[in-house]
Structure 1
């Protein structure tokens, strides 16, 4: 497995609204790894987070939120097993600028809980966590990205991140593929579609393309610029991680290598005006071990 970096590519996310508050002791204990649990502090204990468990969340606390060293608080106490070194885990991670309160990134990440696989700050947040927990941390930018690293996300070295980890229950076994999924609600066609996929369902091994709405425009060819709307979700549970849906769309090129391979294969040969459902294995997507599903709307030739 590739080493998980501190921040993934920035992307828009959906916001949700359930109010939660911190409720953690500040006394450190020892986790199963033999390393002391990172203690809570004044900043992490005061955090208020809005969002349903397992979804993108937002910060409801007053800003700025800062800490001189990593602080960790448990906001929701799960009833699962304690995460052990070497466990393969899925966690919904939201990165928030503690100075502005802006959400920088939110995505479900699959990783191995091991010092050789993840950054030290992430190891310290995961240590002592259980499946079903929501853990929030406040960490100085320099501890996560190193000196000067914050410039890439519009932050100063004196700023802090608010990091929210939802530890999803591990799948004991994958259920057989249900042909009724992915399920797509297109709405009225002007708003972003909603994709539904049950958690822990066997993903397809090959590229799947389904035309949901066939357009009547010209056929998309290679080496064209196409105005496109899209929304993407992780296969496991259909957690949204990226998207853009507007009247005009954004410009994508079908030139070789301009997009992930699954996108290009799905677009070329389809008619402008079409809406397409695409599910692609990792090797045709971001090559990160995760299957993903997209809805693409081919708006016009640029």
Structure 2
């Protein structure tokens, strides 16, 4: 159980709900000259784009191109990516929806799930830091059913602008690599067996903290975690003064998640920012930064303070 919290649903309007839509083979970039000349995209990466074209836009075959190439990790066919995404109706030229809109957040999308085919195909191979533009046929977007909740009628072509903020790390360490750091007196002590974390010993007189405690145990030297990076970690978690851990990943595959999007508990979202690849860090999480009033099965009662050790193995 990765320490996830229940976040609001992502922009469901950007995810396919009909099975009739199938991806046609997209044009290669050099063959998309005509559409590229008709669709003008400007503005800085990471900011709301300005998109201009003469409507209605005729899209005979879906096409995609990159207006800005990043140098981060590439998106794989089975990757999860974090995007700022703007979608326009090709029939009207009007914006349908955007993650830049007030109250919205970047969109986390898994390419293994049912998603707009033309966009999913265009994203494969794009590197973090890239801006990708897609002009999509109706068949490669919302098909005959359209998407009434965002004003797209059946048979409308769609124009999409995706800023790739992050994706799964491609280079992942086997374990922490940084120098050991002496934790402050009174902190929980990490218990290890053959170098593998197995639990914690909490001093008898130690009081539960009221704020997140970030206790470095090994200092990493790689890239620092930023919001909304994708991060790969190994971890072990226990209830404060609990007899045994409630979960760990050290005898499994490491887990990868997004920072700052509510994919994990608040304690992780806050405590891992700034930690560098190769680091080992202990987080002590008060209830309001963990699961609050909600018990997580029998192992984590409501209002539990939690202790984690986390090895930062990759930052994407």
TM-score interval (norm. to shorter): 0.3 to 0.5
TM-score (norm 2): 0.42
Bigger RCO (CA 8 Å, 6+ sep): 2
TM-score (norm 1): 0.44
